[in-house]
Structure 1
Amino acid sequence: MMSGVAVKTVRVGFVPLSVAAPAAGVTPHGGVIVVGDARGVTGYVLSVCEQLRDLGWLALAPHIYHRDGVTEVPLAEGAARMRTLTARGLDEDIEAGLTWLAEAGIARAATAVIGFCMGGTAAFLAAARHRLAAAVSFYGGAVSEPYWADAPPLLAVAGELRTPWLGLYGENDTWVTLGEIGSLRAATRKAHVPTELVSYPGAQHAFHTPERPATHDPAAARDAWGRMLRWLHTHSGAEPDSAPASEATG
């Protein structure tokens, strides 16, 4: 793996971004915007950015709760707190990431957005608004009913995706039903960009998060991480990493 520099916080306007960049002299494969779950920018989210950095990507995580002056909220407060956000605000945060990456020399055609839980929802909505290299949603909810008043449910815009999209879902997810997974898979096939939805039997919500042992599924996490990396490489045109994808986990 490549070495990288320590995560730093930068700002684009009023939006803080945690940035994990490859070592000086290393040309990144491209950029990846990582949108966290309902807790915000956690140690887990930073570890995802660091792993992507070590694989040669310029990764950053927008601070989605910056309007409240906080970086992270407790898990017990996350579900309620995320509903105080807006789709417009999240898109502004993603736009800030796109702006910073552009200033760093990374074009939108070489930039991906990935997200977890609520962040997976935001990544999907971004894929319907922007033309980017790739988008990946780990168990993004709001499939049939929206989280925010200013956003449609995912099914309503599934056919309008403008960015190649990969969905990674657990079939025992209490936030997204098996029926919704099937409906979303069918709806995204109508988009005019490549799409794929992979579901894991027995896996629960947050199966990729090791700091949540009650729901973490190591086998599903490894497979999903590898699929994500292949999706990023395929649709960004980057060369495959030398390290086996199966070795990287969340």
Structure 2
Amino acid sequence: MTLTHTDDYQRADGSTARLTFAEPEGVIRGGLVVLHEAEGVTDGVKLLLASLASEGWLTVAPHFAGEDVTSQDLLDATDVTVAWLTDHGVEADLMGVVGFDLGGTAALVVASHRRLGAAVSVGGQGFTELPTLVEIAGKLTSPWLGMYGDSGDETGAIEVEQLRDAAASAKVATNVVRYPGANHRFDADPGASAEAWQRTLDWFDAHLR
């Protein structure tokens, strides 16, 4: 099993940022920034880091504040993490960002403000802020895959379709997949969860090369 490690990374200005990372056992295909959920870098996030590392990706999760995090906080944390990946020899076009749950919303924010090789959002809280998410999706600057459950209700389905339409207006490749009946964490639908995982791997395979 791939192990995760946590360390402090010293920035150019002398300050430090806490990062948790996992390294592939073989050749590094590229680097992935993993944006965590509201509870922080949990065991589940560490498992995600390890699982992606087992696929050949150097994975790293920045530690940032919980639900009160701002867009600028996310961008600052991502910039530091990208600098760490650069220091470890990963080229810019081989870097991506991925987030699950609240991290899924965070990944969408990053993908609309930074130019990375690929981005993936799996689920995401914050649909009460849907007009903001729709506006962000139309300004995507990184190829983005979004996968969302609609919780089995009509309102959820309409919201996901609105997000799909907004993303389609961006000038980069996008794909929004809706899973009828799945919740935002996908934990009640193993089939949807497994398919979302494979779609995530396929998206990075296609765009980070």
Same fold by TM-score greater than 0.5: yes
Equivalent of 2:119 in 135, 158, 162: 135
Partner SS state of residue 99, structure 2: strand
TM-score in terms of structure 1 length: 0.76
Q: Give the letter aligned to residue 80 of structure 2.
A: A
Mapping for residues 118-129 of structure 1, pairs under 5 Å: 118-129=102-113
The alignment status of 1:225 with 2:197, answered yes or no, reads yes
Root-mean-square deviation (CA, aligned residues, Å) is 1.9
- Per-residue deviation at 1:102? 0.4
The alignment status of 1:64 with 2:43, answered yes or no, reads no
Structure 1 gaps, min length 5: 66-80, 147-151, 208-214, 238-250
Q: Give the letter aligned to residue 107 of structure 2.
A: A
Does the 8 Å CA contact 1:19/1:58 hold for their aligned counterparts? Answer: yes
Q: Give the letter aligned to residue 155 of structure 1.
A: V
Counterpart residue number, 1:10: 7
Q: Give the letter aligned to residue 34 of structure 2.
A: V
- Per-residue deviation at 1:164? 0.5
CA distance in 1: counterparts of 2:19 and 2:168, whole angstroms: 33
Structure 2 gaps, min length 5: none
Counterpart residue number, 2:141: 162
Equivalent of 1:191 in 170, 183, 208: 170
Counterpart residue number, 2:96: 112
Counterpart residue number, 1:77: none
Partner SS state of residue 160, structure 1: coil
CA distance in 2: counterparts of 1:106 and 1:41, whole angstroms: 23
Partner SS state of residue 18, structure 1: strand
Equivalent of 2:157 in 178, 183, 187: 178
Counterpart residue number, 1:30: 30
**Residues 135 and 173 (structure 1), Cα distance of their counterparts in 2 relative to 1, 3 Å cut:** farther
Counterpart residue number, 1:91: 75
Aligned residues: 203
- Per-residue deviation at 1:140? 2.4
Does the 8 Å CA contact 2:149/2:183 hold for their aligned counterparts? Answer: yes
CA distance in 1: counterparts of 2:180 and 2:152, whole angstroms: 10
Which is strand-richer, 1 or 2?
Answer: 2
The alignment status of 1:236 with 2:196, answered yes or no, reads no
User: Percent identity over the alignment?
Assistant: 37
Q: Which moved more, 1:10-19 or 1:125-134?
A: 10-19
Partner SS state of residue 129, structure 2: coil
Q: Give the letter aligned to residue 18 of structure 2.
A: P
Q: Give the letter aligned to residue 207 of structure 2.
A: H
CA distance in 1: counterparts of 2:24 and 2:115, whole angstroms: 25
Partner SS state of residue 146, structure 2: strand
